[in-house]
Structures are given as C-alpha cells and as structure tokens.
Amino acid sequence: MMEPTTEREESAAAPLLVCLQELLAAFRPAFRQERPYRRCVALVLGSVFAFARHTLSQVLLTLGVTEQDWSAWYRLFRTPRVDVDALAAELVRQTLAEIPASGPYVVAMDGVQVPRWSLKLPGTSWLKAPRTPKWKPGIHRAQRYFHLAALLPITEHGYSRALPLRWVPAFPPKAVPSRTPARTEAQAAEAELLWTRRQLDAAGRADQRLLAVGDSSYDTADLWTGLPPRTAMVARCAKNRALFRLPEPPAGPRRGAPRKYGARAPVPPDWLQQRAGWQHALVPVRGRSIPLRYRVEGPFLVKKAPTRPLFLLVVAGVRQRRVRREATFWLVSAVPTEDGGWALPLSAPAVLGWAWQRWEIEVCHRELKAGFGLGEPQCWNPTATEVVVAWQAWAYAVLVLAGVRAWGLEGAPLHPPGRWWPGAPRWSLGTLWRGYRQALWHCGDFQPVCTATTDDWWLIHARNGPLGNAITASLRA
C-alpha cells in the first residue's frame, strides 16, 4: 500500500531541482547551439523516468516525443552535437566547490566492461567474463572502458561518493576497429591523469596535489614513470612484486655509469613475519571504524622506473570468526622532502582510508549499468558508440552531484516507502531517483489508489482505465 507523500518529503525533494537546474545551466557553454542543449537537458530528465531500458527510443517515449522526427535527437551523438570533453572539464570545475583546496584531489581509477552482443560493433572484443568462477573463467563480448571518478571528501562517519569524470575507451588491439586507437588501461590512465592535472591547473588549483587510487592493473613501470607533476598514486601490488632498495653512494671512485638499483628487497608477504615495526589505526568506513595493523617500508624502486621511489604499505590480515580479511599490499608514490629524503604524500592512515574508499567506484559501476542503463543504447556509428556512453556517465554524475549539494553526503531526507525500515544513514541512489520523481511529479497531490486488501480488484481496474484516458486527453489538450 502506497503512503501519501508528506510535506517534509516535498520540502526535501524540492531543492534537488534547484541544484540540478543550476548545474545544467553551468554546462551551457559546452553546446554551440541552444537546441542541442535543450535536448540534452530533456534526455537527462527522461533518464530518471525511464523505468524500462534506457535506450534513446525509450527515453523519448518517456518524454512523450511520439509524433516528431527523432533524427535530430540521434544526431546529438552521431555527428556529434555534444562535446563530451567540454562537459568533463566543466564537471571538474563544479566538483571544486565540494573538494577544498587544503586537501588532495582524490580520484579512483578502474577498468570497466560494457557487455555487448554484436560481433561487428566498433570497439567490441572477446574479454574475460567477470561473472565466471576463478577456477573456470569464461569469455564474453564486451567493450572495455577506462573510468576516472572523483572521490568526494570523507565525512566523519566514513562516507564518500564517486562522481564519474572521464569514461574513455581502452579497447584492446584485437577489438573491432573504431575511431579511438587501441591502448591498455595503464596507457589510458596516464593520459587521463595528465588531463585532470591540466584541468586543476587551469582552475587555479596548481598547488593542490592529485592523488590517484587504483588496483593492481595500474602497478606498471610506465605509469609510475609517466605520472604528471604534483601527482601521487596508490596502487595495489602483487605478492611477488620485485622491489629494490635505493642505490647506495659508492665508497670511492667507480668506473662506469652509476647504479640505478640497490639490493633486492624482500617480497611483500615476507614483511608479515616481522614482529616489530607495526602500527595501528582506526579507519572510518561507511558508518563503522575498521581497526588496521599496518607497517610502512621503503622507499623502494621497481624495474624500469629508477627515478620514482615508492613506499610499501603492508596491511596485516584478520582471521576471526566473523571477520576474515586477507593481507593487502599497496605501493605509494614517494614525494621529496626538504632535507633530501622521501616521505608519503599523506599520512599512512589517510592513505589507507582512501584505499578503502576506492570501493565507491565499484558501487558507481553497479548503479550505472544495472540501474541507470549505461551501455543499453544501441549505437552502431563509430562515433556514437563512444560518445553516448560517456554522455550517460556525465548525466549520472550531474544527477548525483546535485543530490550531494541538496542533501549532503549523509542523512536520509526522504522516508522509505515502507514503515518497517526507518532508512539508512546515507541516502542511496534509489532514494535519489525517487526524490527527483517526487519533485517533478508533485507527488504531494497524489492519493493512494489501493486503500485496503479487498476482492474488488477488477472494479478498481475498470475505474482507473477511464481515469487514465481522461488524464492523457487533458495533457494532449
């Protein structure tokens, strides 16, 4: 049984539209003409109400565009009329209001697959299926993209959000030829980190450090060497990662080139056997404090990157009855100090806190593909198949950023539909979509249709049919 919307919920949902309108107005310079901008705004609102598939045709049906030619809407992405690079640059500037200059600008990196079923769609290839078991991996048809998301500052209770900044192709060499050359995830990460660094410098944040957090896919010598200035990276490393100490200065005159690497250091799991040198920290993560036992070792060097010293963060595992966590190992970029030494870019507990928050980008992937319909538009044009996916990620980021500005990162301004659950400490994406729908539908005027569990369902259905026709006729009039 649906409960009528209260005045408190109406007041909580109304600021969403104000923040969304202000955000969308800031992106007007990315469009050369007014009509493509208005169409783009309409598609953003239609994406909230597309309860079925989020194809362009379904969104247009949701908007009620049934008696017009759809060619202009498809040209938004095929020609294209949307400059996704300009949209992403403005999105970075809009996030600066939420991320203070006193701390780092943290981004999360990850590769993501968009499932496809065509053998001829540009950018598609056979990739490892993520839903198959590890002992029997399988393949599926998909497009591989690189996702760079901004992580909002962590609140007191350990909550954050991931906002997609860049969603760019990272197609493998064997993919169907497309307009974007083939490249690896690490190569895409290097290019996008340089792009983000330039955007921060242009926005007046040249002194702010950029911190990138990624998984083991980005622990490559080329990426460590190619990091932009004033940029640090935290990447998970393998257990058998070869580490070397810094070369010691020669005791006397030595012929030949100076040594680039020092003695071989122990592999990361060997540090777990050490008894001394461990430290403890409480990391707030999503409403709870996680006790961690860690140690910092280094600086070390990796092969083919002798100019980039790295620190090793070793986090001990936990094996209890209810909590079981394996030991993890992280490599962190070292920054030079005034005395000629090396140090971590942030304190070790702060680095570990951001490493835990990297999970927010996985939550973003799930909501984008399962709830927001990213990848569902069937665009066969080589340009449209890339632009429409990047546009969907941008639309999701704008809607979430408006929710953050209206509601903050914590709290549940809208009461859940049922009475059995009071709501979560942090609003979910489902609550955000419901807030937009209530604000646009003005649900305070609606009344519950099914008032009780009776046996007159067919009578209710017969009465609601003519009522719906009357509403439709009044809207057309």
Per-residue confidence (pLDDT) for residue 79, from 0 to 100: 81
79 or 246: whose pLDDT is higher? 246
Give the pLDDT confidence of 418-473 residue by residue, as tens digits: 777 777 888 888 889 888 988 887 654 444 444 555 566 566 656 666 666 665 55
Per-residue confidence (pLDDT) for residue 466, from 0 to 100: 62
Q: What is the mean pLDDT of the chain?
A: 88
Q: How many CB atoms lie within 10 A of CB 362?
A: 13
Q: Which of 305, 137, 313, 299 is nearest to 236 (CA)?
A: 313
The residue written with tokens 């009528």 in the block is 4
Q: Which of 189, 183, 260 is nearest to 231 (CA)?
A: 189
What is the rounded (10 degree) CA torsion for 379, 385, 388, 390?
160
**CA dist., res. 299 & res. 334, Å (int):** 7
pLDDT category of residue 2 using cuts at 50, 70 and 90? very low
Per-residue confidence (pLDDT) for residue 148, from 0 to 100: 97
CB 457 within 8 A of CB 37: no
What are the distances in angstroms from CA 416 to CA 86, 132, 174, 432, 441?
Answer: 37, 35, 47, 11, 17
Say whether pLDDT at 238 is over 60.
yes
Per-residue confidence (pLDDT) for residue 191, from 0 to 100: 97
CB 393 within 8 A of CB 368: yes
Query: What does the angle CA 158 – CA 162 – CA 397 come to, to the nearest 5 degrees?
Result: 140
Give the pLDDT confidence of 152-195 residue by residue, as tens digits: 999 999 999 999 999 999 999 999 999 999 999 999 999 999 99
Per-residue confidence (pLDDT) for residue 321, from 0 to 100: 73
Per-residue confidence (pLDDT) for residue 477, from 0 to 100: 43
Say whether pLDDT at 293 is over 50.
yes
Per-residue confidence (pLDDT) for residue 28, from 0 to 100: 93
CB 84 within 8 A of CB 39: no
High-pLDDT (> 70) share of the chain, %? 89
Give the pLDDT confidence of 377-386 residue by residue, as tens digits: 878 888 999 9
**For the chain, counts of helices (H) and of strands (E):** 12, 15
pLDDT category of residue 342 using cuts at 50, 70 and 90? very high
